[in-house]
Amino acid sequence: MNRKKEREALLKVLFEKDLNSDSNAIAQFNDNLFIESLFKDIEENKNRIDSIISGHLKDWSIERLPAVDRSILRIALAEILYRDEIPLSVSINEAVELAKKFSDEKSAKFINGLLGNLNDEEL
């Protein structure tokens, strides 16, 4: 499975978990180090990740974001914060591509803008 497919699989896992906190969808990827470790990074650092996202929302709360967009942002931020081997531009581009495929063009632009406005203090 290539990284693009791994991100798509992780998005589906996070989306399901966001809608059903009892979901154990990650279990099917126990043999995939990238998916499993990025999922762990997101779960262990969700407060920090969500705080960064929330800091870029104007008159909006993270809970009001569509679940798919919230999940895409969490993946991108986990990569940016905890995966030094993945260039920032790659994480942003992959998040935008996920949004185009699983959400819509408006969300893709929003995600691109939010991630593009991250500052060094947050990272």
Residue 17, in any domain of the structure: yes
- pLDDT tens-digit series, residues 70-90: 999 999 999 999 999 999 999
Taking residue 86's Cβ as centre, other Cβ atoms within 10 Å add up to 16
DSSP state of 8: H
CA 98/CA 24 separation, integer angstroms: 22
Residue 26, in any domain of the structure: yes
The predicted pLDDT at position 71 comes to 98
- pLDDT tens-digit series, residues 97-113: 999 999 999 999 999 99
Q: Which two tokens stand for residue 49?
A: 């990740």
Residue 121, in any domain of the structure: no
CA 95/CA 73 separation, integer angstroms: 7
Sort residue 59 into left (φ over 0), alpha (ψ -120 to 50) or beta. Answer: left
The answer to whether 30 touches 17, Cβ cutoff 8 Å, is no
pLDDT above 80 (res 122): no
pLDDT above 90 (res 94): yes
- pLDDT tens-digit series, residues 5-54: 999 999 999 999 998 887 788 888 888 999 999 999 999 999 999 999 99
pLDDT above 70 (res 121): no
User: The domain spanning residue 26 has which CATH number?
Assistant: 1.10.940.10
The domain of 79 spans 3-116
Residue 74, in any domain of the structure: yes
First to last CA, the chain: 29
Residue 122, in any domain of the structure: no
What's the alpha-carbon Rg for the chain, to the nearest Å? Answer: 13
What's the number of domains the chain is made of?
1
The predicted pLDDT at position 75 comes to 98
Residue 123, in any domain of the structure: no
